[in-house]
Amino acid sequence: MLDFSITALDPETAARAAELDTPHGTVRTPAFMPVGTAGTVKGMAAWELERLAPEMVLANTYHLLLRPGVDRIEKMGGLHRLMAWPGPILTDSGGYQVFSLAARRSLDDDGVTFRSHLDGSAHRLTPESVVETQARYGVDVAMVLDECLPYPVEMADARESVARSIEWARRALAHAQKMRAESTLWGGGLFAIQQGSVDEALRRRCTDELAGHDFDGFAVGGLAVGEPMEVLHEAVAMAAPMLPANRPRYLMGVGYPRDIVHAVACGVDLFDCVLPTRSARTGKVFTSVGEINIKNARYADDLEPLDEACNCPTCGAYSRAALRHLFIAKEVTSVVLLTLHNLTFFLNLMREAREAIMAGRYGRFRQRIEAICNSN
């Protein structure tokens, strides 16, 4: 199993600072993982990403399976070589696509069959094949195949889905253990995923069924699928503390700063979201005083940087007026520069959160971030 150690606990909340040792380095938490769905973080050259030094990055098993395919990735030397990224990588299993591509898939107790959104070809995913694919990618953390539920959901459907996800997780772990016994080529970890929508009893049942098994970590799945912010926060506060305290806890797909600082206070260690990169492509920028949209005419003559408190190269070299001009002119450079800034903001947010936990003042840090978010 991957080694995980808690280095500090906040005295006022459930926030914790910890370290997760992986084959490609130690992940210091709480940590935000930039998303590189198809093998790259959009708008970022590998050397720029390495300079930003995220603790771990995320890629997607399903999308990489479709293109370029597991055989080609193996020939390239694995996913680390494809991404030109030397640090830890976590891959999502494709479970979210069970939810988001519902019109293109058929689901049964054994697995799921997708029709590719690229060419219509059929692809079969099972708990065993998904683990094997991620192992062939050479990732540091693999996720079990699960069924991500919509919100709202009928309770009968939720109960059936949770039972299926539990069984899939058991099958995935058994296959991972078999692979490790037969070969030393893959030393990565396997995370289980807690499901159950916003129902406490279902979340508890799922956790109780999974917690007794040797998973390297546990994720809270099935949130950020359309529920209101208040419901999301209540669900995280209910679901995260159920997970084993001696293993890393990962909240999947949640990325707004106010949601992150709330979840950290509930004991969550890992996060991922496309928000920083997707927002950059629409002109949305995150700053230490709140969100701005660079397309706004008020920035046409603004000679200040995006954020005076930011240490990124974009803020060091470009004014808001210059960035607005480049974005309105549809220059690709503008998206690259905004992406660089947004990722810096999120990574700095997590570093500051860790420092606050280590200093025993996370509650005050959380209040400051929430006040900024609420001011927008």
Are 173 and 220 part of one and the same domain?
Answer: yes
Average pLDDT of every residue of the chain: 96
Structural domain span for residue 264: 4-272
- Specify the pTM: 0.97
Are 157 and 290 part of one and the same domain?
Answer: no
Are 247 and 278 part of one and the same domain?
Answer: no
pLDDT of residue 231: 98
Could you report the per-residue pLDDT of 104-120, keeping only the tens digit for each? 889 999 999 989 989 99
Of 226, 254, 272, the last residue of a domain is: 272
- Of 92, 140, 259, 307, catalytic: 92
To the query of whether residue 216 is one of the catalytic residues in this protein, the response is no
Q: How confident is the model at residue 365 (pLDDT cuts 50, 70, 90)?
A: very high
Could you report the per-residue pLDDT of 66-78, keeping only the tens digit for each? 999 999 999 999 9
pLDDT of residue 185: 85
Are 260 and 307 part of one and the same domain?
Answer: no
pLDDT of residue 278: 98
Which CATH number do you get for residue 244? 3.20.20.105
For the cut 90, the answer to whether the pLDDT of residue 101 exceeds it is: no
Are 235 and 294 part of one and the same domain?
Answer: no
Are 109 and 140 part of one and the same domain?
Answer: yes
Q: How confident is the model at residue 183 (pLDDT cuts 50, 70, 90)?
A: confident
- Of 10, 146, 269, 272, catalytic: 272
To the query of whether residue 302 is one of the catalytic residues in this protein, the response is no
Are 245 and 283 part of one and the same domain?
Answer: no
Are 182 and 140 part of one and the same domain?
Answer: yes
HEC profile of 201-233: HHHHHHHHHHHCCCCCEEEECCCCCCCCHHHHH
Are 224 and 305 part of one and the same domain?
Answer: no
Of 272, 304, 331, the last residue of a domain is: 272
Side chain identity at residue 313, one-letter code = P
Q: Number of folded domains in the chain? A: 2
Q: How confident is the model at residue 95 (pLDDT cuts 50, 70, 90)?
A: confident
Are 260 and 282 part of one and the same domain?
Answer: no
Q: How confident is the model at residue 124 (pLDDT cuts 50, 70, 90)?
A: very high
Are 286 and 262 part of one and the same domain?
Answer: no
pLDDT of residue 276: 98
Share of the chain above pLDDT 90, in %: 94
Q: How confident is the model at residue 16 (pLDDT cuts 50, 70, 90)?
A: very high
Of 272, 295, 311, the last residue of a domain is: 272
Spatial CB neighbours of 360, under 8 Å, sequence gap ≥ 6: 8, 10, 11, 12
Task: Report the candidate in 119, 135, 64 with the shortest Cα–Cα distance to residue 97.
Answer: 64
Are 31 and 120 part of one and the same domain?
Answer: yes
